[in-house]
Amino acid sequence: MTSLFLRILLWMYLPFLLLICGVMGWIIFLLAQATSRLNLLLASSAPVIVLLGFTILQVLWALRGLFSRCSETQEMEVCVPSRLLKPVHSWLEEISRRHNLWLPDNVRFGAETIAHVYEDDTGKRVLVLGGAALAARSQAALGGVIAHELAHFTAGDTRLSRKAIRRVQVMALLEYNFASQPGSFLNPLAWFVRLYHVVFGLVWAAHSRQQEFAADRWLLEHVGGDTAAQALLHLAATERLPWVRLANIAKAHVAANDPIEHLFAEHWRRAQSISADDWEQACRKELKRKTGFWDTHPSLKDRPGALGVSSRHALRLVRDQQSPRARELFPEWPKIEKLLTEKLLAVFLEEYFGQT
């Protein structure tokens, strides 16, 4: 039901904006006509005309988001030579064949992610593997995460997101314009636009949660309860351990002006030093978190793959490193690590010096 409602909201958005602009233009015409015929003082209607006209310009200016081209390589992503990806392609083909999943067209590496998927402007399916996950996770744990992400390709979730992205960009531009111009709050017609955005945001979040539930059910059915729970715990519990997050490690070294050539090795060292109490506490907190209306991902306790998983059993799952480490899939991992480290540090250096 939310999928249908979301598609209707996406389809109706541009006609809705044009209708709002048409109504405001009609009001401007009536005011100008009344001013001319009734010899009213221009000052009495000018503020309303200016306000309505300015809102129309804001809407028209925001429509440029429909024609902007999304960058195929995101800020925190790195494309590596194809020769370095041969082992991972074989691994992905095995996962795809075993679980009847769609393969990605491109594989990239992200500095600050575990794994995620999307479709680019040309419709090609892109899988982004996190350098931190490759450095610190086992092949079994990361394989479960990847199976969950590839299920989004198979279900068509990424296709809908690609089709919606430009309208979402228009909404974001309009929200920024309205927020940066306080006078917009005086226009009741602008309120309807913002109300539309609120309804769309709530439906988008609900639809996204349903997509996650569908991927979870698929994962649970095909790989079993423990593997599904392990994948979901790795996705969620790590967020409760901020000192292990790659971005925080990079920021600390940038702020202290400390050279670091092996960023992911430091991440691995910190991940291995996490105590059992820390892991258990992180899992327990995550299992207690509730899902909010604006959350695009359901809380861990609401996800079918984590049902019936106690904090003690969760601890054993997230610390299970019996299978080979994921980085062993890449004989030339040091080269990939160097590329990712340079990318991540460059981003945070620019951010740090831009703020000082």
pLDDT value for 237: 67
Count CB atoms within 10 A of the CB of residue 185: 12
Q: Verify that 11 and 96 share a domain, yes or no.
A: no
Question: CA torsion angle for 205, 207, 212, 218 (degrees, to 10)?
Answer: 170
Q: Verify that 195 and 219 share a domain, yes or no.
A: no
Collapse the DSSP code of 79 into the 3-class scheme (helix H, G, I; strand E, B; otherwise coil) and give the result: coil
Do 340 and 264 touch, CB atoms closer than 8 A? yes
CA dihedral for 267, 272, 275, 280, sign (positive or negative): positive
Do 70 and 118 touch, CB atoms closer than 8 A? no
Q: Alpha-carbon distance 6 to 296, whole Å?
A: 14
Q: Alpha-carbon distance 198 to 337, whole Å?
A: 41
Q: Verify that 140 and 19 share a domain, yes or no.
A: no
Collapse the DSSP code of 91 into the 3-class scheme (helix H, G, I; strand E, B; otherwise coil) and give the result: helix
Q: Verify that 141 and 275 share a domain, yes or no.
A: yes
Question: Which of 138, 169, 200 finishes a domain?
Answer: 200
DSSP string, 46-64: HHHHHHHHHHHHHHHHHGG
Token digits of residue 297: 């991902």
Does the model's pTM come out above 0.85?
no
pLDDT value for 350: 66
Q: What are phi and psi of 348, to 5 degrees?
A: -75, -30
Instruction: List the one residue out of 62, 294, 295 whose CA is nearest residue 193.
Output: 62
Tokens 């901020």, residue located: 242
Q: Verify that 125 and 217 share a domain, yes or no.
A: yes
Q: Verify that 27 and 53 share a domain, yes or no.
A: yes
Number of domains in the chain: 2
Beta bridge partners of 78: 109
DSSP string, 102-128: PPPSEEEEESS-SEEEEE-TT--EEEE
Residue type (1 letter), 39:
N
Q: Verify that 132 and 169 share a domain, yes or no.
A: no
Q: What are phi and psi of 130, to 5 degrees?
A: -80, 130
Collapse the DSSP code of 130 into the 3-class scheme (helix H, G, I; strand E, B; otherwise coil) and give the result: strand
Question: Which of 144, 169, 200 finishes a domain?
Answer: 200
Q: Verify that 103 and 191 share a domain, yes or no.
A: no
Q: Verify that 108 and 57 share a domain, yes or no.
A: no
Question: Which of 150, 183, 200 finishes a domain?
Answer: 200
Q: Verify that 193 and 214 share a domain, yes or no.
A: no
Which residues in the chain show pLDDT less than 50? 71-73, 356
Q: Alpha-carbon distance 152 to 159, whole Å?
A: 9
Q: Verify that 149 and 246 share a domain, yes or no.
A: yes
Instruction: List the one residue out of 269, 217, 211, 207 whose CA is nearest residue 243.
Output: 269
3-state helix, strand, coil split of the chain in percent (to 5) is: 75, 5, 20
Range of the domain at 152: 77-158+209-355
- How many helices (H) and strands (E) the chain has is answered by 13, 4
Q: Alpha-carbon distance 143 to 139, whole Å?
A: 6
Q: Verify that 18 and 150 share a domain, yes or no.
A: no
